């Protein structure tokens, strides 16, 4: 009987499978967008500009949030409820800070004369806006999930023995982190 229980624990939950399928489709979307970016960049009217330094700061913030979500998983596994809650909350706050920094980066570009949308925009700014904006929407979805899981963690009905929600959001959060690092490197050196 204990062998059956051990085998059951090693199986992935169906939600994990759904998550990996969704992440695969997101990878395909961003692969298509970055490929289109490379093709469009070879055209004569492409506007060259540097990314504002605030994008570097936002990169550090999202990297830090990847550490905090991993600590939340660790504390959940250790059944340390208070630290689990704290790391979840900090990760959500860092996610919100990342979003704020990204918006400030967009505003800095606009102030510097790089129109991201509208009649004054160049395809370079528009591509940057679409690619980073779509990533930002995925981060926003992750922040909502983090807030929901944090609220559950602080409720009286919290079951710290069910680590599936934090494991799922951790996988998703690491994914959007890695995706941002890829996009940042891509836009910084290819862009």
What distance in Å separates the CA atoms of residue 72 and residue 96, rounded to the nearest whole number? 17
Domain boundaries, the chain: 11-41+49-190
11-41+49-190 under CATH 1.20.120.80, yes or no: yes
Q: What is the helix (H) or strand (E) element at residue 63, kind and residue range?
A: helix 54-77
Helix intervals (H) in the chain: 2-10, 14-41, 54-77, 81-111, 123-154, 164-185
Answer for the pair 14, 167: CB distance below 8 angstroms, yes or no: no
Mean pLDDT of 134-151: 94
Mean pLDDT of 60-77: 96
Express each pLDDT in 89-132 by its tens digit: 999 999 999 999 999 999 999 999 888 888 888 888 999 999 99
What distance in Å separates the CA atoms of residue 180 and residue 105, rounded to the nearest whole number? 14
With CA atoms as reference, report the closest residue to 135 among 167, 91, 103.
103
Q: What is the residue-averaged pLDDT of the chain?
A: 88
pLDDT for position 5? 46
Say if residue 16's pLDDT is above 70: yes
Q: What is the helix (H) or strand (E) element at residue 13, kind and residue range?
A: none
Handedness of CA 172, 178, 91, 167 (dihedral sign): positive
What crossing angle do the helices spanning 164-185 and 81-111 adopt, rounded to 10°?
30
- Tell me how many degrees the CA angle 176-180-186 measures, rounded to the nearest 5: 145
Mean pLDDT of 176-182: 96
Q: What is the helix (H) or strand (E) element at residue 45, kind and residue range?
A: none
Residue 117 gets which letter from DSSP?
S
pLDDT for position 9? 53
For tokens 């959060």, the residue is 173
Express each pLDDT in 122-131 by its tens digit: 888 999 999 9
Mean pLDDT of 160-186: 91
Q: How many CB atoms lie within 10 A of CB 130?
A: 16
């Amino acid at each position: 009987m204990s062998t059956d229980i051990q085998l059951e624990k090693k199986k992935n939950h169906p939600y994990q499978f759904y998550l990996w399928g969704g992440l695969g489709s997101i990878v395909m979307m961003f692969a298509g967008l970055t490929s289109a970016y490379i093709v469009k960049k070879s055209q004569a009217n492409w506007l060259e500009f540097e990314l504002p330094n605030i994008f570097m700061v936002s990169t550090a913030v999202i990297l830090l949030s990847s550490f905090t979500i991993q600590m939340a998983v660790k504390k959940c596994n250790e059944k340390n409820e208070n630290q689990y809650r704290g790391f979840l909350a900090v990760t959500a706050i860092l996610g919100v800070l990342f979003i704020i920094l990204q918006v400030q980066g967009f505003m800095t570009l606009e102030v510097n004369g790089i129109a991201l949308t509208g009649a004054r925009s160049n395809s370079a700014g528009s591509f940057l806006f679409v690619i980073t904006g779509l990533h930002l929407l995925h981060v926003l979805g992750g922040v909502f999930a983090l807030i929901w899981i944090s609220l559950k963690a602080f409720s009286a009905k919290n079951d710290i023995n069910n680590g599936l929600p934090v494991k799922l959001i951790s996988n998703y959060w690491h994914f959007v982190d890695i995706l941002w690092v890829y996009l940042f490197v891509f836009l910084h050196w290819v862009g």
